[in-house]
Amino acid sequence: MTSKIVLITGASSGIGAATARRLAADGHHVVLGARRVDRLAALVGELRAAGGTAEHRELDVTSLGSVRAFVEGAHDRHGHIDVLINNAGVMSLATLDALRIDEWNQMIDVNLRGTLNGIAAVLPLMRARGRGHIVNVASTAGHRVDPTAAVYCATKYAVRAISEGLRQESRDIRVTVVSPGYTHSELNDHGGDPQIRAAALAASLELGLPAAAVADAIGHAIAQPDTVDTNEIVIRSTAQG
């Protein structure tokens, strides 16, 4: 397999960190971005100790300037970018009448605007090169609405719609959406209604996939030839149904 330059947002934990481990083990060079730089530094050290190549940069996906600096810096250092994985995400669970407006805005900013910022930063570079691969992490919540997750679901439906639009516009850039079900991660650790959050966390622990399983699916999509576009992967545990 040819080594690729792969950028991963939201790489400090969960699916992002698991994907970094999988792709570094596959021989790719991973460029990791997140706000928690201490965790990124520890992960880069782990990957290098295992024989992989990795680097990290502080990243706020809600800021187009921050995302452009992350992407363009990697491009300047390596000459090209093969893959961008838009993975950063947040989830706040509550009914709409709870009016958690700040949390609505945060989900829109991170999940939706963060994905758009990643696309805006990398697309001109991939277009100029004539190839590339954008992987957007959505959710099974982008396939079915839960009444306690309406805004979160809306952001993930939007990620799928944007990805499909980009795919239809592109003949030389691959676009993959990965929609995980319950997954063992920190996604549900903060915000929202405490009782709803606790119930969702219990379900995730009982029914969820290990983050490494989602990382394997992403690795599979990246490993395909440039002429093969894996459009969407929906992945969940058999227990989730």
Task: Give the chain's length.
Answer: 241
Q: Six-digit token pair at 212?
A: 């490494």
3-state secondary structure at position 26: coil
The two tokens of residue 107 are 């989900």
Q: Identify the bridge partners of residue 177 per DSSP, sorted by sequence position.
A: 136, 232
Burial 173-187 (b: 16+ CB within 10 A, else e): bbbbbbbbbbbbbeb
Judge residue 165's burial from the number of C-beta atoms within 10 Å of its C-beta, 0-12 exposed, 13-18 middle, 19 or more buried.
exposed
User: What does the buried/exposed string (b/e) look like for 201-231 if buried means 16 or more CB atoms within 10 Å of the residue's CB?
Assistant: beebeebbbebbbbbebbbebbeeeeeebbe
152 is catalytic: yes
Q: Is 172 helix (H, G, I), strand (E, B) or coil?
A: coil
Amino acid identity of 186? E
Supply the DSSP symbol for 210.
P
Identified catalytic residue from 152, 157, 180, 232: 152
Q: List the catalytic residues.
A: 152
